[in-house]
């Protein structure tokens, strides 16, 4: 964006963008849930035994927290790549 042409800067920006996208999705989950929508990866939800309905109903059981933790961990991994 500033005319920087560096493969390492591009790579870092890519990981930062992915991390930000994941965090934005997580932060918007309560908002979307009130509108009967869930935009979380179903494979991770199924891995922890959580359903879309669990998020829509605002449940806070361990399996729901584990889904959030797993997804947030992916954002953290992207930030670690940047560092």
Dist. CA 83–CA 77, nearest whole Å: 10
No. of helices (H) and no. of strands (E), the chain: 4, 0
Dist. CA 73–CA 57, nearest whole Å: 24
What is residue 52's predicted lDDT score, i.e. its pLDDT? 95
Per-residue pLDDT of the chain (83 residues; tens, 9 = 90+): 677 788 888 889 899 999 999 999 999 999 999 999 999 999 999 999 999 999 999 999 999 999 999 999 999 999 999 98
Q: Which two tokens stand for residue 46?
A: 């199924």
How far apart are the two ends of the chain, measured CA to CA in Å? 20
What is residue 1's predicted lDDT score, i.e. its pLDDT? 60
What is residue 19's predicted lDDT score, i.e. its pLDDT? 97
Q: Which residue has the tokens 């991770």?
A: 44
């Amino acid at each position: 964006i500033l005319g920087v042409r560096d493969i390492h800067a591009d790579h870092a920006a890519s990981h930062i963008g992915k991390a930000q996208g994941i965090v934005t999705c997580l932060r918007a989950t309560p908002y979307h849930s009130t509108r009967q929508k869930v935009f979380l990866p179903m494979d991770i939800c199924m891995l922890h035994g959580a359903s879309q309905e669990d998020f829509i109903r605002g449940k806070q059981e361990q399996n729901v927290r584990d889904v959030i933790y797993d997804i947030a961990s992916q954002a953290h991994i992207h930030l670690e790549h940047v560092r």
